[in-house]
Amino acid sequence: MSAGPALPRGPRSVFAKLVAIMVIMAVALLAAVSLFFWQVVTPMLNGTVTQAYGELARATAARAPDLAEARAFTDRTGVEVLYEGPRGAWSTGTRARDMRGLEEYHPRLFIATRDVSIVPAADGGRYAFIARFGPNMRSAHTWLFVTLLVIMALVVVVAHAVLRRLLDPLRALGEGVAQLGEGRFDRLGLPPRRDEFGVLSAAFDRMVDRLAAMMRARDQLLVDVSHELRSPITRMKVALELLPAGDPRARMQADVAEMEAMVGELLELERLRDGRGVQRADVDLGALVNDVARAFDGVAPGVVVEPHEAMVATVDEGRIRMVLRNLIENAIKYSLAGSAPVRVRLERRDGTVSIEVRDDGVGIPEADLAQVFVPFFRVDRSRSKKTGGYGLGLSICQRIAEAHGGKVTVDRVAPRGTRFTVTLPTTGPAGRSPGRGAG
């Protein structure tokens, strides 16, 4: 089977894409706020702080404080004072500073951590006032950054919860479409909503109802036609018995027999609906598979049953025998001259048993795989009697499996051929496990 187109990388679901968009928007908002602070708020703040400290420095220098007064001023305000002039050179700080180095100080572009104001004194000297607000500023910016991150995380979490709730109908719709593809006409049954998703889910439910009604009408039509044909077929059989023996009579009897078989298969489909007509008992599926396979001994290309353990399930032995016989007959019918033997494999999986029938034949076109279980569907559009029957065999197989709570699936295998897999629960509908008596 050829590989499908490669899926695009990155988020593939609408939910993941919307969450990614929310994260990108949150990061972009954080970047925009940071840029705004850098380009607008910080210059304005730095200018205001510089002006305020300058006014404080000029007012203090006008009083011409000595070292003792300067130290008292530093204790009150935290502003370090440096003096150079006729009265000597002193500083209220613990670090030695050079007035020339302070003259060359330039505040940082982003966040200023100190401010330096040099003011001339009345005696011809100079005062330098050094205001340090770096620790407080760093603490404020740290808390601002942490607060923004927490807000962004909360926005993402809330957006995640809101989007998940908003997109619940979309996920339910996806599951409903998948079930519809499997032939299950189940309504979504979501609470009514007034948004686009509510309109979409309501439209889907209406579509499912119409499809289910159409399928019921189709099945009922087939049943009604089958019942109506039984009486004419019986009269034809009686009339044929009155004809003289010969080839014409034999050919007409064969045609009537085919019609009778088709009507019987249609009625069989109806009896199997909702599990009716199924008599369950504990059956050794391995022995049943071996028994069915022995009936094809000597028929090319042959049937090989792979080794398996004992597997007992609560099933209708006659119905499951019919399924196995039909699948193996089809596998042999569509095998080629040089095909490998048909292989049958049994496997136990989590409370179910799967029976796989695999052939090495012509295979089924990819476009027809979803239609093979539809009544009267045939891959051969000419509907030649040489290549098949009425197109009811696989429908009956699927209906039998569904009546047991299982299913039949089909897929192509490489390099050629087809694989049918029958999956059956090991217990009956009431949870009765094998080995507790016949049903």
pLDDT per residue as tens digits for the range 397-431: 988 898 888 999 999 988 889 999 999 998 765 44
Residue identified by tokens 């200023």 is 112
| Range of lowest pLDDT (7-21, 115-129, 315-329) | 7-21
CA distances from 86 to 62, 79, 83, 89 (A): 16, 22, 10, 8
pTM exceeds 0.75 for this model = no
Are 222 and 269 contacting, i.e. CB atoms less than 8 angstroms apart? Answer: yes
User: For 240-250, what is each residue's pLDDT tens digit?
Assistant: 888 888 888 88
Task: Give me the phi and psi of 43, to 5 degrees please.
Answer: -60, -40
| pLDDT for res 114 | 62
Pairwise CA distance, residues 40 & 38, whole Å: 6
pLDDT at 383 over 70: no
User: For 430-439, what is each residue's pLDDT tens digit?
Assistant: 444 443 333 3
Closest CA to 160 of 4, 332, 22: 22
| pLDDT for res 135 | 60
Share of the chain above pLDDT 70, in %: 82
User: Average pLDDT in the 71-80 region?
Assistant: 85
Task: Give me the phi and psi of 354, to 5 degrees please.
Answer: -110, 135
As a whole number of Å, the CA-based R_g of the chain is 44
Long-range contacts of 202-211 (CB under 8 A, 24+ apart): 204/173, 204/176, 204/177, 208/176, 208/180, 209/185, 211/180, 211/185
| pLDDT for res 137 | 61
Q: What is the 3-state secondary structure (H, E, C) of 372-391?
A: CCCCCCCCCCCCCCCCCCCC
Are 204 and 173 contacting, i.e. CB atoms less than 8 angstroms apart? Answer: yes
Are 194 and 200 contacting, i.e. CB atoms less than 8 angstroms apart? Answer: no
Question: Tokens in use for 134?
Answer: 């770096």
Closest CA to 390 of 228, 258, 298: 258
**98 phi-psi bin (left φ>0, alpha ψ -120 to 50, beta other):** beta
User: Average pLDDT in the 206-219 region?
Assistant: 84
* 281-284 vs 114-120, strand pairing mode: unpaired
| pLDDT for res 4 | 39
User: Average pLDDT in the 359-364 region?
Assistant: 89
Largest CA distance in the chain: 151
